[in-house]
């Protein structure tokens, strides 16, 4: 009986548990969605207990479905929605407020006030980030202002990784990793430690923060759970996009990937160099293995797969998200329609928190199919803007971009993305590389792998897309996109 790794992928709309063997082959996966909470326009929350219930449920189900002897589970890896922020009481374990989700824009005024004080250059230099509601630090401050108990000594703050480790270890460990910590506006990229000056500017309780660890080490062991035995090491952890970069085996500087999930996220490995973007991208910690930290450039489109969910759930265009491809393919083009999915503002490279979604170019002949196709194209257009900025910072065009995430299975989207980028796109056999990356890190942390060579060998390509679009066609599409952007 071979060893297994349990990967927990806690995402924005649902939680996934994956069992992966020691050869990094997926044995089975289970996903469960949980409710999204929208208290006000532009506000997004999650119930931390609902998140924990979904994680517990999928772990139970994947073990039961595949009749797994839990003694075979040698390690647990965690990957998570990154900037989403939780506050709980250390003594009772009870959340003190709903989690504030990365998409939430409620701290827009707080960010504006920090900018007015002239603090953005300091934050950007120290953290690689911009002052935007996207990140965790201002969410922590908002909770502290709104909930008196969050200012007490027994309050604990963390991103979802910290919350899950705390629950999995029965409250024994309060820890995060450098990839998640680098998304808080509170960690100094150069030192990999919390920055007291930045903490002071945000007014966050220093004692409520978790310790910062690397990405492949033992953080603690399971304890007191009714669905896993005590003593399983939790030995790998990374924010979802860094985990996907690792899962795509982008281990060398200049290698890049794009993950199509709720949002779309492009990351490029920059090695041990902290590259500060001149074109609106973020600089982030990719991972820390031993004493060596690898960095990355990142561009994020806040809304990608979420626009498909919106068409399904709010407008009733189709019953299953997968149906969008056949609907989009039923028309040759969008009929001039542009959909800018700025439902939560615009991320890199625009950074416009006030932007809102636009459907432009509608005529009497516009159909559901035209809008569906425009939604897919809107995802690709955002990624093109990000890649343009990334190539400018990198100084050379990328030869290939590796893709993953649920929407990477959509051939229509991938071909249009390839055409728009004029860059080859490589899709792996396993497009769920976020969970795979967590398993890879856990395998390293538990000693199942001793180095990256075996991990690199496990990555396999399923299909490569090559552009068939002319430069004139490409520029015509981009001109249409810029027209739509001007109206957000």
What are the pLDDT digits (tens) for 461-485? Answer: 999 999 999 999 999 999 999 999 9
pLDDT of residue 1: 55
Whether pLDDT at 126 is above 90: yes
At 460 the pLDDT is: 87
Measured between alpha carbons, how far is 383 from 260 in angstroms, rounded to an integer?
10
Domain that holds residue 110: 4-240
Percent with pLDDT over 90 in the chain: 78
- What is residue 321's predicted lDDT score, i.e. its pLDDT? 87
How many Cβ atoms sit within 10 Å of the Cβ of residue 117? 10
- Please give the average per-residue pLDDT across 120-125, as a whole number: 95
Bridge-based pairing of strands 175-177 and 187-188 is unpaired
Bigger pLDDT: 346 or 402? 402
Q: Per-residue pLDDT averaged across 310-336, rounded?
A: 93
Chain centroid to Cα 411, Å, comes to: 22
Q: What angle do CA 178, 180, 182 make, to 5 degrees?
A: 65
Helix axes 471-485, 368-394, angle to 10 degrees: 100
Tokens of 408: 């990477």
pLDDT of residue 431: 86
d(CA 300, CA 342): 12
Per-residue exposure over 130-155, b if at least 16 CB sit within 10 Å of its own CB, e if not: bbbbbbbbbbbbbbbeeeeebeeeeb
Q: What is the mean pLDDT of the chain?
A: 93
Whichever domain contains 62, its CATH number is 3.30.420.40
Name the domain count of the chain.
1
Assign 3-class secondary structure to the chain: CCCEEEEEEECCCEEEEEEEECCCCEEEEEEEECCCECCCCCCCEECHHHHHHHHHHHHHHHHHHCCCCHHHEEEEEEEECCCCEEEEECCCCCECCCEECCCCCCCHHHHHHHHHCCCHHHHHHHHCCCCCCCCHHHHHHHHHHHCHHHHCCCEEEEEHHHHHHHHHCCCCCCEEEHHHHCCCCCEECCCCEECHHHHHHHCCCHHHCCEEECCCCCCEECCCCCCCCCCCEEEEEEEHHHHHHHHCCCCCCCCEEEEECCCEEEEEEEECCCCCCCCCCEEEEEEEECCEEEEEEEEEECCCHHHHHHHHHCCCCCCCCCHHHHHHHCCCCCCCCEEECCECEECCCCCECCCCCEEECCCCCCCHHHHHHHHHHHHHHHHHHHHHHHHHHHCCCCCEEEEECHHHHCHHHHHHHHHHHCCEEEEECCCCHHHHHHHHHHHHHCCCCCCCHHHHHHCCEEEEECCCCCHHHHHHHHHHHHHHHCCC
pTM for this predicted structure: 0.88
Least confident of 21-25, 244-248, 422-426: 21-25
Q: Which residues pair with 181 in a beta bridge?
A: none
Is residue 232, in this structure, part of any structural domain at all? yes
Q: Is residue 391 part of a domain?
A: no
Neighbours of 68 (CB within 10 A): 17
> In sequence order, what are the residues at sequence separation of 6 or more whose Cβ sits closer than 8 angstroms to the Cβ of residue 198?
122, 123, 126, 127, 137, 185, 186, 188
205 found inside a domain? yes
User: Cα(59)–Cα(71) distance, rounded to whole angstroms?
Assistant: 14
Q: Residue 316 — φ and ψ, nearest 5°?
A: 65, 35
% the chain with pLDDT above 70: 100
Give the pLDDT confidence score for residue 394 in this predicted structure: 79
C-alpha to C-alpha distance for 371 and 373, rounded to whole angstroms: 5
Q: How many angstroms separate the Cα of 102 from the Cα of each of 86, 199, 429, 430?
A: 11, 19, 29, 26
Q: Which has the higher per-residue pLDDT, 399 or 411? A: 411
In a domain, 93, yes or no: yes
Name 299's bridge partners.
Answer: 266
Token pair of 194 as six digits: 């919390």
Count other C-beta atoms under 10 Å from residue 163's C-beta. 29
In a domain, 424, yes or no: no
- Condensed to tens digits (0 to 9), the pLDDT of residues 56-86 reads 999 999 999 998 889 999 999 999 999 999 9
* pLDDT score, position 185: 97
- Check pLDDT > 60 for residue 411: yes
Asked if pLDDT for residue 457 goes beyond 90, the answer is no
Average pLDDT over residues 395-408: 86
pLDDT at 398: 81
Lowest pLDDT segment from 53-57, 195-199, 395-399: 395-399
Indicate the pLDDT class of residue 322, thresholds 50, 70 and 90.
confident
Residue 103 binned pLDDT confidence (cut-offs 50, 70, 90) = confident
In-domain check, residue 52 = yes
Kindly report, residue by residue over 329-376, the tens digit of the pLDDT.
Answer: 999 999 999 999 999 888 888 888 788 999 999 999 999 999 999 999
- For residue 100, pLDDT beyond 90: yes
Query: Is 145 part of any domain?
Result: yes
What value does the mean pLDDT take over residues 282-306?
93
Instruction: Please indicate, yes or no, if residue 157 is contained in any of the structural domains.
Output: yes
């Amino acid at each position: 009986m071979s060893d297994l790794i349990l990967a927990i992928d806690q995402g924005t709309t649902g939680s996934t548990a994956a069992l992966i063997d020691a050869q990094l082959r997926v044995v089975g996966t289970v996903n469960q969605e949980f409710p999204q909470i929208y208290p006000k326009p532009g506000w997004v929350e999650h119930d931390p207990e609902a998140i924990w219930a979904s994680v517990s449920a999928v772990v139970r189900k994947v073990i039961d479905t595949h009749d797994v002897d839990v003694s075979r589970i040698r390690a647990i890896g965690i990957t998570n929605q990154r900037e989403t922020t939780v506050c709980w009481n250390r003594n009772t374990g009870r959340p003190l407020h709903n989690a504030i989700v990365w998409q939430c824009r409620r701290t827009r005024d707080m960010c504006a006030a920090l900018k007015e004080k002239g603090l953005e250059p300091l934050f950007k230099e120290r953290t690689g980030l911009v002052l935007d509601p996207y990140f965790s630090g201002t969410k922590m401050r908002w909770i502290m202002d709104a909930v008196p108990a969050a200012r007490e000594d027994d309050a604990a703050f963390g991103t979802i990784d910290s919350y899950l480790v705390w629950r999995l270890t029965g409250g024994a460990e309060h820890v995060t990793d450098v990839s998640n910590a680098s998304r808080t506006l509170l960690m100094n990229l150069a030192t990999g430690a919390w920055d007291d000056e930045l903490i002071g500017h945000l007014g966050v309780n220093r004692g409520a923060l978790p310790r910062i660890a690397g990405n492949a080490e033992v953080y603690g062991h399971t304890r007191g759970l009714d669905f896993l035995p005590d003593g399983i090491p939790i030995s790998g952890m990374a924010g979802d996009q860094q985990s996907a970069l690792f899962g795509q085996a982008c281990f060398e500087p200049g290698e890049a990937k794009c993950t199509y999930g709720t949002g779309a996220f492009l990351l490029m490995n920059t090695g041990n160099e902290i590259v500060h973007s001149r074109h609106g991208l973020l600089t982030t910690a990719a991972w820390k293995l031993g004493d060596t930290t690898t960095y990355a450039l990142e561009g994020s489109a806040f809304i990608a797969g979420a626009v498909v969910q919106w068409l399904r759930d709010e407008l009733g265009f189709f019953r299953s998200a997968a149906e969008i491809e056949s609907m989009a393919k039923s028309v040759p083009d969008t009929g001039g329609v542009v959909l800018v999915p700025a439902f939560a503002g615009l991320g890199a490279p625009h950074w416009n928190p006030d932007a809102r979604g636009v459907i432009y170019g509608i005529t009497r002949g516009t159909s559901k199919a035209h809008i569906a196709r425009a939604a897919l194209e809107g995802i690709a257009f955002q990624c093109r803007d990000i890649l343009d900025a990334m190539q400018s910072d990198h100084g050379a065009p990328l030869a290939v971009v590796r893709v993953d995430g649920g929407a990477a299975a959509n051939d229509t989207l991938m071909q249009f993305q390839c055409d728009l980028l004029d860059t080859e796109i490589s899709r792996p056999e396993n497009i769920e590389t976020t969970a795979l990356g967590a398993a890879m890190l856990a395998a390293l942390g538990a000693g199942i792998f001793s180095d990256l060579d075996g991990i690199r060998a496990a990555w396999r390509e399923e299909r490569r897309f090559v552009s068939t679009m002319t430069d004139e066609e490409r520029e015509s599409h981009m001109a249409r996109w810029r027209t739509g952007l001007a109206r957000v």
